[in-house]
Each structure stands twice: as structure tokens, then as C-alpha cells.
Amino acid sequence: MSGPDASPVSLALPTVGVVLLTQGTRPDDLARGIRSLLAQQDVRLDIVCVGNGWQPTGLPAEVKTLGLPENLGIPAGRNRGVSRVVGDFLFFLDDDASIPDPLFLREAIAVLRADPTIGLLQPRVVDPAGIASPRRWIPRIRKGAATHSSNVFSVWEGAVLLPRAAFDATGGWAEPFFYAHEGIELAWRVWDLGLRAWYAGELEANHPVIAPTRHADYYRLNARNRVWLARRNLPALLVPVYTGSWLLIQLLRWARNPGALRAWLAGFREGWTTDPGERRPLKAHTVWRMTLAGRPPIV
């Protein structure tokens, strides 16, 4: 249930502020995502569609709009939307994603309420056309079955649910990143709150299989933000360990693609020579908890 209904029954339902991010270039996908939100049952939604460099028009009356005069990047666009919605929970949905089950939000919130140590939830991602899902959508080193739930230390950002209080305490999405790795920082900062990021394999979001390299600056931003991630979040001793391990990984990964490697190395250099923004290093206890949970922040 969504909309302005203020009956006593509806007021007892979970309240969710929804930030739907778009550039206005995928109207059919955007409409599908909105329909999937408006179909949600047993929740009260406050939805804003944020147009990054676009003024949203022609949307259902239940959806508020926020047009940004220029594309501020994915993290900043999401953050701008947060200020326009209310709710005990926040749900972020990209315009090419949707949630096929009308009970999705109710069930995802039930997971968070059943275990207050979970501060962020990412569902399993499935291509709506039945194309095999890429393994990168499972944010684990040891991938395993896509339906297996577990702690995670990064997230696929296209459909993410958090308690509002946890999101606010993290400081929000990393605006300087513009695109790439903002989901890793958000997950790390959730862990630094003493909470956990959780991959819920039993819950499903839909997203088409599209190569991430479609973004013109994919390799550069991937590398720059990897360095920024370390400089912003890791204790000083771990910064060279983390960045060095990723340098080695990429040298091996792109050895047969010199163009991609050159772009990645240029971004890696940029990460050291430009300002990453606010530094909030993880507590030593957080690093230890992450290590015990199977993913020390060194790779």
C-alpha cells in the first residue's frame, strides 16, 4: 500500500522513503520500476524520482519529482533524493531495476526487523528476460549459489534497503565517486557502525544484463575510486596493502587488453593525485570483525 491514505491500519505499516534515480534516458524501464513500487503491499511509501540532469515528467501522482539541472553523479543524485522523502527505512532503486514481488519490501523489512544487526540489505539480482545473471551481482569472493544469503562487504547498488538511522549514520553515498565503488564504501561504513551488510538470496530484484564497460569512463573511475576508497576509509597501514593488491589483480586481468590497462592505470594515478573527500578510517575493531566474517579489507 502506498499513497496518502492515513487510516489507523495504514499508519501501523512500515514507512519507506524510496529514491528512484534516473537520467530520463530509459522511459520504459523507469515506468516498469515505478509500477513495481506502486504495486508493493503492506508498506507505506514516500517516493521521489530524482532526475540527474533531467526534469522528470509524466509520472504517476504518487511519485514526487526532483530535477537536478546537471548530472551530479549516481551517489550525489541518490543523496539529494534522501532529503525529499520520509520513512523509517530507505530504499534505493535505479531506473533500469524493478522488484517483481509485490511483497518484496514487506519481506525485506521483516528481515531487518528480525535481526537488528543487519544495517543494509541487497537482494539477489535476476535478469527479467531469463538471461543468466553475471557472477559480479553476487557480492562475494566465494560466489556460491545466488540464492545463498550471507554477510557481504560490498553491494550491487541498484536495489538497496537500509534503516534510515543507519544510512544517516554512515554519512550517505560517497558523492566524490560519481560512479563506481560507492556500494563498497557504504557497506564498509555500515560495518563500522557495528552492523552488517547482508545479501538476501531469497529476495529478488530484476535488472537486465548489461556490460558495465558501457560507461565511457568505466576503467578510469573504477581505478580512481578504488584508490579513493582506500584513502577515505582504511587505516593508514592498510591503504598500500589494499591498493597494491588491486594493482596486481588488474595487471593480471587486463594484461591482454592494453587499452583497458592504460585507462585503468591512468585512473589509478589520478586516485593518488586528486582529493578523495572526507577521510573516516574504519575502526580497528571493524577491521577485525570483517576479518572474522571472512573478508579483511585488504583485497
pLDDT for 180 beyond 90: yes
Distance CA 211, CA 193 (A): 33
Say if residue 3's pLDDT is above 80: no
| Cα 152 to Cα 127: distance, rounded to the nearest angstrom | 21
CA atoms of 50 and 77, how far apart (whole Å): 7
Residue that the C-alpha cell 577515505 belongs to: 232
Kindly state the cell numbers that stand for 65. Answer: 519529482
Grade residue 210 by pLDDT with cuts at 50, 70 and 90: confident
Q: What percent of the chain has pLDDT over 70?
A: 95
Average pLDDT, the chain: 94
Q: List, as one string, the DSSP characters of 163-179.
A: EHHHHHHHT-S-GGG-S
Interatomic CA distance for residues 99 and 126, integer angstroms: 10
What average pLDDT does this structure show over 105-133? Answer: 96
Q: What is the pLDDT of residues 90-109, one digit of tens each?
A: 999 999 999 999 999 999 99
Task: List pLDDT tens digits, range 211-253.
Answer: 775 555 899 999 999 999 999 999 999 999 999 999 999 999 9
239 compared with 4, residue with greater pLDDT: 239
> Does residue 258 have a pLDDT over 60?
yes
pLDDT for 9: 46
- Decide if pLDDT at 85 tops 70: yes
When pLDDT is cut at 50, 70 and 90, the band that residue 12 belongs to is confident
pLDDT reported for residue 24: 96
Q: What is the mean pLDDT of residues 36-49?
A: 98
Q: Is residue 165 a contact partner of residue 209, using CB atoms and an 8 Å limit?
A: no
Q: Are 178 and 74 in contact (CB under 8 A)?
A: yes
In this structure, what is the dihedral angle of CA atoms 253, 214, 20, 106, given to the nearest 10 degrees? Answer: -50
Cell of 221: 573511475
The pLDDT of residue 32 is above 80? yes
